[in-house]
């Protein structure tokens, strides 16, 4: 499959993507500006470590930048050029695997190409994950990509996958948003005041 070219160590069975356009709040209050667009990109990857304990997961970590590059490419294709303000990541590990197997694909080597794809990101990427099977719901945490103290951007994107993961697979999943929550009004650091120097403010 040409779409998998260059992914090296990763055998990918399925790619997933999702777009949400949120136009008003839960009570129907109109948006305070543009709608929120949320995007999700995920890969269902065969887990070579399923069913066994392996001390050194370095080979998967070292290969993971290729996965990050492809996730970033697919994101930019999906957004049509919209600027991204927040991000988050997550994994679902099939039940023959360890949670640690999935985490190996969320470390900085995999994340840095995704940061590059959104124009850079100073803050650490919030993450979560679990073990499960097809239909497992993930609540992917979101936070501002340059300043974690921006309260308006604390959010989630909930996703699930109808046919994955199998017992010997891992789903690697990233979510993104174009702005903070609609009508956020809890104070704190404002986007206009972000310095983007240390990932916090």
Q: pLDDT digit string (tens) for 118-166?
A: 999 999 999 999 999 999 999 999 999 999 999 999 999 999 999 999 9
pLDDT band at 1 (very low <50, low <70, confident <90, very high): very low
Are the C-beta atoms of 76 and 117 separated by less than 8 Å? Answer: yes
- Count of positions (residues) in the chain: 201
Give the pLDDT score at 74. 97
The reported pTM is 0.93
User: Is the pLDDT confidence value at 196 over 50?
Assistant: yes
What is the set of domains in the chain, with CATH numbers?
2-193 (3.30.1330.110)
Check: CB of residue 47 under 8 Å from CB of residue 172: no
């Amino acid at each position: 499959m040409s779409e998998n070219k260059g992914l090296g160590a990763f055998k990918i069975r399925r790619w997933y993507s999702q777009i949400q356009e949120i136009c008003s709040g839960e009570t129907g209050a109109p948006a305070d500006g543009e709608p929120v667009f949320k995007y999700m990109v995920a890969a269902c990857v065969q887990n070579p470590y399923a069913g066994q304990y392996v001390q050194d997961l370095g080979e998967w970590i070292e290969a993971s930048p290729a996965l990050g590059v492809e996730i970033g490419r697919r994101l930019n294709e999906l957004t049509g050029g919209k600027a991204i303000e927040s991000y988050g990541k997550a994994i679902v590990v099939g039940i023959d695997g360890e949670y640690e197997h999935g985490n190996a694909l969320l470390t900085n080597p995999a994340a840095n190409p995704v940061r590059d794809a959104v124009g850079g990101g100073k803050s650490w990427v919030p993450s979560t994950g679990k073990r499960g099977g097809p239909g497992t719901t993930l609540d992917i945490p979101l936070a501002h990509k340059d300043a974690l103290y921006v309260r308006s951007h604390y959010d989630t994107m909930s996703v699930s996958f109808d046919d994955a993961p199998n017992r010997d697979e891992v789903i690697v999943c990233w979510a993104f948003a174009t702005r903070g929550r609609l009508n956020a009004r809890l104070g704190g650091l404002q986007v206009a005041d972000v310095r983007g120097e240390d990932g916090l403010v």
